[in-house]
Amino acid sequence: MSKQIEKRENGAHVPAKNQQWARKTYTPNVDILETKDEVQVIADMPGVSNDSIDLHFENGELYLHGSVPERQPRDQQYLLREYATGDFYRVFRITEEIDAEKISAEYKDGVLCLHLPKVEAVKPRKIAVRTA
């Protein structure tokens, strides 16, 4: 895994400050990709509405949270119910090599894509060689 972002290994689903969850929580599956300019985190969060996504960066940690609303059938009775609702929650530790002020995100079709740009000092650069 990239040295700019680390997965928290404690396995606990700890709510962010001032949040209480009485519902089941899920850890979204993610892919982490690195280019010369940024690190991308792609998270599966199916069923989450755009307005229920909460992303925040605090004390070197990036928090991902999203809620899937409870589905209540109208005048219907379930014959089988396997789809569970709840909250998605994940935390990543971000190093100083990421420019936290420029983190951006987009959400489409149940997939959250985070863009974590690298600070200029850690980006690879070409060094020109002059002839003497």
Residue carrying the six token digits 């972002």: 5
- 33 neighbors 42 (Cβ within 8 angstroms): yes
Mean pLDDT (whole number) for 9-29 = 63
Q: In this predicted structure, which of 13-17, 31-35, 94-98 has the lowest mean pLDDT?
A: 13-17
Continuous segment of H or E residues that includes residue 67: strand 61-67
Mean pLDDT (whole number) for 23-40 = 92
Q: Which pLDDT belongs to residue 4?
A: 64
Q: Which pLDDT belongs to residue 15?
A: 52
Q: Which pLDDT belongs to residue 127?
A: 82
- 116 neighbors 33 (Cβ within 8 angstroms): no
Dist. CA 35–CA 111, nearest whole Å: 20
Continuous segment of H or E residues that includes residue 22: none
Pairing of strands 61-67, 54-58: antiparallel
Using left for φ > 0, alpha for ψ between -120 and 50, and beta otherwise, residue 47 falls in left
Q: Which pLDDT belongs to residue 5?
A: 64
- 47 neighbors 68 (Cβ within 8 angstroms): yes
109, amino acid identity: D
- 45 neighbors 88 (Cβ within 8 angstroms): yes
Please name each of the domains of the chain with its CATH number: 5-11+25-71+84-122 (2.60.40.790)
